[in-house]
Amino acid sequence: MKLEKTLVLLKPCTLERALMGEIISRFEKKGLRIVGMKMMQLDDAILANHYSHLVDKPFFGILKASMMRTPVVAMCLEGVDAISVVRTITGSTNGRNADPGTIRGDYCMSNQQNIVHASDSPESAKAELNRFFCPEEIFDFGTLNIPRLYAEDEI
């Protein structure tokens, strides 16, 4: 099967604003399969890795603090082209510029408090899923609902 897996984090702002259910529901309704999900408290070490491309930015300190305010919900989503599909649903980084209909476009006003993290490439999806999940926390759903989600030649 041509399924991809990608990482989504529901950020602390999403927990604080009681939007978890709504955001999870968007991914579910799209037809992405949630094959791993857990709540976890992030710390300096995991955030230094996760945001290693941003460590030299002036906002890195407040970004890190904002990601540790509450636990996050980590999800592994699965589907054909899941990595790019999830990025499209997520929208551009700054909620003020993100297109209406995207999660960031519909739920936030911030460039930082922007509801979700989503892996941006196959390489980052692989590294990020390894960072946030043990292999046994990601489940094999086999062909469950696949014939309802895709045509035979898409999978």
Strands (E), the chain: 3-10, 33-40, 72-80, 116-118
- Give yes or no for residue 93 binding ligand UDP (CB under 6 A): yes
93 vs 145, beta carbon nearer ligand UDP: 93
Nearest to 24 by CA among 83, 105, 89: 89
List the one residue from 31, 68, 111, 126 that touches ligand UDP (CB under 6 A): 111
Q: Cα angle vertex 19, ends 36, 82, to 5°?
A: 40
124 belongs to the binding site for ligand UDP (CB under 6 A)? no
How many whole angstroms separate alpha carbon 36 and alpha carbon 134?
10
Name the minimum Å distance from CB 154 to ligand UDP: 27
For residue 154 the two structure tokens come to: 């898409």
Q: Is 50 labeled as catalytic in the residue annotation? A: no
| Residue 70 to residue 99: CA distance in whole angstroms | 27
Nearer to ligand UDP, 97 or 145 (CB): 97
Number of H helices, E strands in the chain: 8, 4
Smallest separation, CB 25 to Mg ion (Å): 23
How far apart are CB 53 and Mg ion at their closest, in Å? Answer: 7
Give the active site residues.
117
Interface residues with ligand UDP (CB under 6 A) are 54, 59, 63, 93, 111-112, 114, 117, 120
Interface residues with Mg ion (CB under 5 A) are 120
